[in-house]
Amino acid sequence: MKITNFPDYEILDMSNGEKIESWNGIILQRPDPQIIWKKDINKELKNKVDAIYHRSKTGGGYWKNIKNVPSSWQINYKDLTFNLKLMGFKHTGLFPEQAYNWDFMIDKIKKENRKIKVLNLFAYTGGATCACAYAGADVVHVDSSRGMVDWAKENIKSSNLEDRYVRFIVDDCIKFVQREIRRGNKYDAIVMDPPSFGRGANKEVWRFEEDLFNLVELCSKLLSDDPLFFIINSYTTGISSEVLKNILSLNINHKGIITNGEIGLPMKNSDLVLPCGIYGRWEKDE
């Protein structure tokens, strides 16, 4: 388990399928299916909660904004500043556990004495895009949601990275990769965070179990002659990180190291760690 340290974000308590978190001082309570242990959550903390996400019996859910949480606020990770919002499906627009991968990418890019070109697929609100741009890479950011791409632009701006090269693309990731292959474009690094299920810009259907292998196979054709890394993140239930390792092993023919595992977030003043997802990673052998 790789544990992320994110000073502006803290899990304050978690039990009975719920977690109470501090997002730069804004206290949220949200459900989490990994939290199956049972104990009483601190009552004083419950009284400090600013907003609670309630699941609906018919699917989805809603936020109950108790203490006038602003429509948008910011959180910092080192030199990066991200914009947060209460989203309809319990999220805030940022997955703080991914700081583990941001640190890795920043370190790898900064060590290279050359310009690195990064492709970020299913790029969401651009956490990895900001990290790579901050490290000095040129980034192509692809997501099928225009709203998420606009949000990523906000994060680039708030992180003072507007002078860096970032190309934002609203498109289906598979179709974009196919076109890049035909164009003969190459990338030194690829990172992707594919959903369990999704629809592309033109209603193309994505299914993780059916489509991931084919996408990674396509992406392997975009790698430069001297690639730096290839990262797959996943939050798909029931998929082992070993699966991601196998997919990378079968598709990347360059000499390097493949690692995999879980990433998680610690609870404040506790030995408990919340598992938050899995990763598979190929990297250039230094």
For residue 64, give the nearest of 56, 73, 52, 72 by alpha carbon. Answer: 52
User: Is 89 within a domain?
Assistant: no
Q: What is the C-alpha separation between 222 and 123, in angstroms, rounded?
A: 17
The pLDDT of residue 32: 95
Are 165 and 251 found together in one domain? yes
Are 51 and 140 found together in one domain? no
Are 171 and 269 found together in one domain? yes
Domain that holds residue 10: 2-71+79-84
Are 121 and 261 found together in one domain? yes
User: Is 236 within a domain?
Assistant: yes
Are 37 and 178 found together in one domain? no
Are 104 and 56 found together in one domain? no
Are 211 and 120 found together in one domain? yes
Question: What is the pLDDT confidence band of residue 274, given thresholds at 50, 70 and 90?
Answer: very high
pLDDT for residue 53 is more than 70 = yes
The pLDDT of residue 132: 98
pLDDT in tens, 2-47: 888 899 999 999 999 999 999 999 999 999 999 999 988 888 899 9
Q: What is the mean pLDDT of residues 259-265?
A: 97
Q: What is the C-alpha separation between 116 and 46, in angstroms, rounded?
A: 46
Q: What is the C-alpha separation between 242 and 134, in angstroms, rounded?
A: 30
pLDDT in tens, 160-215: 999 999 999 999 999 999 999 999 999 999 999 998 887 766 677 778 888 999 99
For residue 189, give the nearest of 227, 215, 221, 219 by alpha carbon. Answer: 227
User: Is 43 within a domain?
Assistant: yes
Q: What is the C-alpha separation between 111 and 134, in angstroms, rounded?
A: 13
The pLDDT of residue 129: 98
Q: Answer with the one of 33, 55, 84 that is the final residue of a domain.
A: 84
The CATH number that applies at residue 8 is 2.60.40.1180
The pLDDT of residue 200: 66
User: Is 210 within a domain?
Assistant: yes
User: Is 145 within a domain?
Assistant: yes
The pLDDT of residue 204: 74
Determine what percent of the chain is predicted with pLDDT higher than 70.
99
The pLDDT of residue 201: 62
pLDDT for residue 240 is more than 80 = yes
Q: Answer with the one of 84, 110, 132 that is the final residue of a domain.
A: 84
User: Is 159 within a domain?
Assistant: yes
Question: What is the pLDDT confidence band of residue 78, given thresholds at 50, 70 and 90?
Answer: very high
pTM for the structure as a whole: 0.94
pLDDT for residue 85 is more than 90 = yes
The pLDDT of residue 198: 75
SS3 letters across the chain? CEECCCCCEEEEEEECCEEEEEECCEEEEEECCCCCCCCCCCHHHHHHCCEEEEECCCCCEEEEECCCCCCCEEEEECCEEEEECCCCCCCCCCCHHHHHHHHHHHHHHHHCCCCCEEEEECCCCCHHHHHHHHHCCEEEEEECCHHHHHHHHHHHHHCCCCCCCEEEEECCHHHHHHHHHHHCCCECEEEECCCCEEECCCCCEEEHHHHHHHHHHHHHCCECCCCCEEEEEECCCCCCHHHHHHHHHHHCCCCEEEEEEEEEEEECCCCCEEEEEEEEEEEECC
Q: Which residues pair with 112 in a beta bridge?
A: none
Are 113 and 54 found together in one domain? no
The CATH number that applies at residue 138 is 3.40.50.150
Are 59 and 105 found together in one domain? no
Are 196 and 278 found together in one domain? yes
pLDDT for residue 236 is more than 70 = yes
- Output the six-digit token pair for 2: 């790789």
Question: What is the pLDDT confidence band of residue 120, given thresholds at 50, 70 and 90?
Answer: very high
The pLDDT of residue 202: 67
Are 190 and 251 found together in one domain? yes
User: Is 190 within a domain?
Assistant: yes
Are 192 and 225 found together in one domain? yes
User: Is 90 within a domain?
Assistant: no
Q: Answer with the one of 63, 84, 105 that is the final residue of a domain.
A: 84
pLDDT for residue 58 is more than 90 = no
pLDDT for residue 73 is more than 90 = yes
The pLDDT of residue 224: 98
Domain count, the chain: 2
Q: Which residues pair with 192 in a beta bridge?
A: 121, 232
